[in-house]
Homo-oligomer: A and B are copies of this chain.
Amino acid sequence: MTKSLPLSQRAQRTEEQPISYFIREAFENPRLISLAAGLVDAESLPTEEVRTVAESIFADPASARAAMQYGATQGYAPLRAKILDHVLALDSVHAKDLNLSADDVVVTTGSQQLLYLVGEVLIDPGDIVITEAPSYFVYQGALASFGARTLQIPMDDEGMQTDALEELLVQLERTGELARVKMIYTVDYFQNPTGLTLSLPRRRHLMELVRRFSKKQRIMILEDAAYRELRFDGPDVPSIKSLDPQNEYVILGMTFSKPFAPGLKTGYGVMPPELRESLLRFKGNHDFGSSNLNQHILDRMMSTGAYQRQGDRLRQVYRAKRDAMLAALAAEFPPISGVTWTKPDGGLYVWWSAPRDMQTGFGSPLIQAGLDEGVLYIPGELCYEKTPDVPTHEARLCFGVATPAQIGEAIRRLARAARAVGLPRLGMKAFAGCRG
């Protein structure tokens, strides 16, 4: 008789990511158009660019050997220097303006590893992390694994409502819990899942709040700017990091997965030195350095301009997909339907809100009707902390993977599913008109 496995407390807090469900469904149902998985467009992957660069690396024995050997825990130094220049150029600032050097850059296995390492550095069970409501659900799972108490702040068109954040901090100070607040996590460009961007006044307010409420200890901001480089239109906004001139409060996390290619699984962070020191110790224990070959490939991509060209290409591709999704939504869900959605200037996601009484979660009539029609989305409730008043009528729609034609078809299937489970008849009429 086999004895039970002695799982750690952290393991007991670590739940299966719901994304596994969506991947399985997508595999098992080939007719399905998935708007669920946050994968990227297949046709525009930079295969020719990587082929050319890989050839140039392997054509020279010295560079080939360097790429095949172990690298440094912190990452390939020439790549870190280019990353810093790149990040600074996005904000039109100089390294000295932000008290930064390439030593403050750490290369990670995707930006996901950066998020994980920051959590390990900062969070003890019972510590407080403040996020947007809704927030990136994979990181919510990691925060739960660390034993964090996650408090969520509502959003509007300008992103996280920093007035509500201020009220929360005041209240936590009153109840003596301010010292448990370790960080504020924000996906501040074209947020996953809503597509919303934090406005500049809110960014300034956020910085003001962390300075003011860093009393016994520093409250850090984890700025997850994974989607920043996928901006199609609308004005740019400076990073929160650019508002932290002494490199004290903000950890900036970015990635090569979204603006270049996920297969290289490379991301990075720019962060204050004390945090970096601790984070590198963890990274030494995790893997003492991410794939060196991939870092050498990316280093050349940044030198040759191929990185920038691929970004330009992806922005065109995703803009067309977003436009296809917004057009289909407007055609299928007239105002009378009570359905609303965000209109992001970039990223991969639209946030879709049904009338309050229409459930979207696992086991709901809508998700089943969607599967019957052949469309899948991420139930919005996965992106909230489990509190009694969680909204249950929302969905994340990803326009990254499907083609524009598939996106149009997927939205039509979603509309049919929604009508099948009770979306107002007038919606039906509008739909009929639209097809007619």
Please list the residues of chain A having a beta carbon within 8 angstroms of any beta carbon in chain B.
2-11, 14-17, 19-20, 23, 39-40, 42-43, 45-48, 50-51, 54-55, 58-59, 61, 64-65, 67-73, 109-110, 112-113, 116, 120-124, 127, 138, 141-142, 145-146, 179, 182, 214-218, 220, 246, 248, 257, 261-266, 272, 274-275, 277-278, 281-282, 284-294, 296
Contacts and interface: CB of A to CB of B under 8 A. Distances in A.
Given A50-B68, A265-B290, A285-B145, A218 B4 contact: yes
A285 B272 CA distance: 23
A430 to B, nearest CB: 37
A39 B69 contact: yes
Closest 3 CB pairs of A and B: A51-B58, A47-B64, A68-B263
Nearest to A124: B8
B71 A263 contact: yes
Contacts of A68: 45-47, 50, 261-264
Contacts of A43: 65
B17 A284 contact: yes
B67 A58 contact: no
A394 to B, nearest CB: 23
A55 to B, nearest CB: 7
Given A216-B3, A288-B112, A122 B11 contact: yes
Contacts of A20: 73, 284
Nearest to A246: B2
Contact of A284 (B10, B138, B285, B291): B138
Contacts of A55: 51, 54-55
A286 B285 contact: no
Contacts of A39: 69-70
Contact of A248 (B2, B65, B116, B146): B2
Contacts of A274: 5
20 contacts: A3-B215, A5-B274, A5-B275, A6-B218, A11-B122, A14-B282, A45-B64, A45-B68, A46-B68, A47-B58, A48-B58, A50-B64, A50-B293, A51-B64, A69-B262, A70-B257, A262-B292, A265-B290, A266-B291, A293-B293
A430 B281 CA distance: 45
B287 A113 contact: yes
